[in-house]
Amino acid sequence: MNDVIVIGAGVIGLAIAIELKLKGISVTILRKKELNIASLAAAGMLAPHAEKIPSTSLFNLCKNSLELYPQWVTKLKDITSRDVGYLPSGIIAPSFEHPTASSNGGIWWDRQQLELVEPGLTRDIVGAWWYPQDGQVDNRLLLAALNQAAVELGVEILDNTAVLSIEEKADKVQQLITSTGPMQAQSYILAAGAYARELIDLPVSPIKGQMLAVQMPQDNFLAKVIFGDGIYLVPRSDGRLIIGATVEEVGLANYNTPSGINLLLEKAIAIYPCLKDYPIQELWWGFRPGTPDEGPILGRLDAENLLLALGHYRNGILLAPVTAKVICDLLLDGQKDPLLEEFSPHRFISKS
Ligand SMILES: Cc1cc2nc3c(=O)[nH]c(=O)nc-3n(C[C@H](O)[C@H](O)[C@H](O)COP(=O)(O)OP(=O)(O)OC[C@H]3O[C@@H](n4cnc5c(N)ncnc54)[C@H](O)[C@@H]3O)c2cc1C
């Protein structure tokens, strides 16, 4: 019997599986067929400061993960020789008004300072908050590296294997019923992103985000990530400029809409006018795994051999390293990181 089965092969499931395998645990990952997974749809910003995260505990978790990023991507590179486009190059949040208070560790740049770095922003912008600690990773390259690392380390990945139900008895998972038959392991990890609610009764819901990419001209690359009001521009080193993202509670509506793309284009052109003539390269959408308080769900519910790693909402790419660490510590050493207290699934279970 396997030591561990991980349900889900997004950034969260893969990061956990790799961490476990590096500790000598035998791991199988199950992944459903052809899902539009959030880890491929994301923008890859590592932006706890620019995002102005509402709660202190979530901010601390994100900051902790941001600090783990350099060593995490180095570890992946050592295993796979792949570069994942990790750039701790800071994020600029432009403003149409002069600041009245400080902003989450940001440094205020006036228009003159801003122009030295990004001259193409609209004249109506009076300055910007500069968050030097934030950055980006190319999430598609990251997912490819995670997949390769898992394979090279000997994690078994079973494609086209949907978990249909999790069978529990006496507070223990007995087996998974899957599209290819029943499966057993000593422990299970549920990392099924926005689709988790099909398997467990917790409030994880899909929050749709539409995105597009344009191609920047060789002689006019945007240098830094721009984080505006309801819009962001993420330049990749190959010249793609990622523009995102809508935030929509429309269930699993699997398509782009004219109004969604129109909204993004209007806001993007308003902030960075020259992109209006750039060739459109791609349109896509994805589903953030949202929770009512926007925090992830990490830890055990009732079954002692089932750990949950769900609901990473807007920050799952950022939170992957810390999630892998705390879930492995919990599974292998029973070591509960104090940070986990706030993210327990029990916060969503009514006490009556
Ligand atoms: C438009 C958009 C922009 C984003 N931008 C950012 C960003 O800039 N920075 C950031 O940090 N985060 C961002 N996010 C959020 C981030 O993408 C997610 O939080 C993260 O990818 C969640 O990863 P996951 O592994 O939990 O889920 P997913 O990547 O969705 O993976 C889920 C996995 O579970 C599998 N699965 C589901 N159900 C089953 C089943 N029944 N049986 C077997 N397998 C199953 C799927 O096949 C898949 O492999 C963004 C998200 C979106 C949609």
For ligand 1, whether the C-beta of 162 sits within 6 Å is: yes
DSSP labels, 42-104: S--EE-TTTTT-SSHHHHHHHHHHHHHHHHHHHHHHHHH------B---EEEEESS--SS--T
Tokens 């992946």 label which residue? 76
pTM of the model: 0.97
- Torsions phi, psi for 89 (to 5 deg): -105, 10
Indicate the top mutation candidate among 134, 139, 322 to test ligand 1's pocket, ranked by most ligand atoms within 8 A of CB: 139
pLDDT at 336 > cutoff 90 = no
For ligand 1, whether the C-beta of 43 sits within 6 Å is: yes
**Cα separation of the two ends of the chain:** 38
Rounded CA gap, 293 and 163, in Å?
A: 27
Rounded CA gap, 333 and 331, in Å?
A: 6
> What distance in angstroms lies between residue 191's CA and the mean position of ligand 1's atoms?
9
For ligand 1, whether the C-beta of 212 sits within 6 Å is: no
pLDDT in tens, 27-82: 999 999 877 899 999 999 999 999 988 778 999 999 999 999 999 999 999 999 99
pLDDT in tens, 273-323: 999 999 999 999 999 999 999 999 999 999 999 999 999 999 999 999 999
Structural domains for the chain: 2-83+138-201+292-348 (3.50.50.60), 91-132+205-290 (3.30.9.10)
